[in-house]
Copies of this chain bind each other. A is one copy, B any other.
């Protein structure tokens, strides 16, 4: 499930993980704008959720923002992921929105199906894909399936699973501050310090563009964990439940308007702050 190739002349669409509990629609409004404003065709995948009204709820939110074409895709089983009308709706969408719920519902239902393949191919060709909470966790190649709370990484506290694979540069965690998840994100990164950890507070999103530059939007912050300078991790020999040694982690707290380049691993302050200096 690795990212599809971006066509020669094109640019990958945005990848937008959101930390859950979206507030005043600032985030959805930015997503709508990217997808073409009132002309946008937005498809909603409510598979993660057990609440049958989830799709309708987001359709209403997007319609309140002026979007005329919204559709909820009733994907409940792996067989649904083969249905021509569902595949056609994804193909035609300018933007796809994955709701919250359980991320393993997404991976067990969509994993290895035509729906997952089309999402990767269309995103590589310019379609924008957002996900909130479970939907955010699922976007990347490596997904945090579940784990324990607490700020200290402890051996075995986090369970990874393969995700959708739109990108593999990031490892996402959500409801970050609200559920005390720094430890499990650090633990996940300590297993193989190659990806960038993105801990998303609620009502906060990273808008990652086709050049892999993320811009932060929302009322909370993003805790960005860069393990590229990690000198040492004890994850290969720490016994179960014991704390893991991790030396050389770089950490950034980024808020509204700040940016982060996933290639150069450089953070940028919001424009208005930079100008005031």
Residues of chain A touching chain B, judged by Cβ–Cβ distance below 8 Å, are 1-3, 5, 77-79, 102, 104-105, 107-109, 111-112, 116, 141-142, 145, 156, 159-163, 165, 168, 190-195, 227-228, 230-237
CB-CB nearest in chain B for A158: B159
Task: Check if B162 sits within 8 Å of A159, measured CB to CB.
Answer: no
Q: Which residue in B108, B161, B194, B235 is a CB contact (below 8 Å) of A112?
A: B194
Q: How far is the CA of A145 from the CA of B161 in the complex (A)?
A: 12
Residues of B near A2 (CB, < 8 A) are: 2-3, 141, 165, 168
Residues of B near A193 (CB, < 8 A) are: 78, 108, 111-112
Lowest 7 A-B CB distances belong to which pairs? A112-B194, A111-B192, A104-B236, A161-B191, A2-B2, A107-B192, A162-B192
Task: Check if A104 sits within 8 Å of B231, measured CB to CB.
Answer: no
Known: A142-B162, A159-B160. 19 other contacts (CB 8 A): A2-B165, A2-B168, A77-B232, A78-B193, A102-B236, A102-B237, A104-B236, A105-B236, A107-B192, A108-B190, A108-B234, A111-B194, A112-B194, A156-B159, A161-B191, A161-B192, A162-B191, A162-B194, A162-B195
Residues of B near A233 (CB, < 8 A) are: 108
Residues of B near A111 (CB, < 8 A) are: 191-194
Residues of B near A235 (CB, < 8 A) are: 104, 108
Residues of B near A112 (CB, < 8 A) are: 192-195, 227-228, 230
Q: How far is the CA of A235 from the CA of B109 in the complex (A)?
A: 10
Instruction: Give the one of A102, A105, A109, A112 with max B CB within 10 A.
Output: A112
Could you show 21 A-B contacts with beta carbons less than 8 Å apart? A1-B168, A1-B194, A77-B231, A78-B231, A79-B231, A104-B235, A108-B190, A108-B234, A108-B235, A111-B191, A111-B193, A112-B193, A112-B227, A116-B194, A142-B142, A145-B191, A156-B159, A159-B159, A160-B160, A161-B191, A162-B194
Task: Check if A104 sits within 8 Å of B162, measured CB to CB.
Answer: no
Residues of B near A1 (CB, < 8 A) are: 168, 192, 194-195
Task: Check if B161 sits within 8 Å of A108, measured CB to CB.
Answer: no
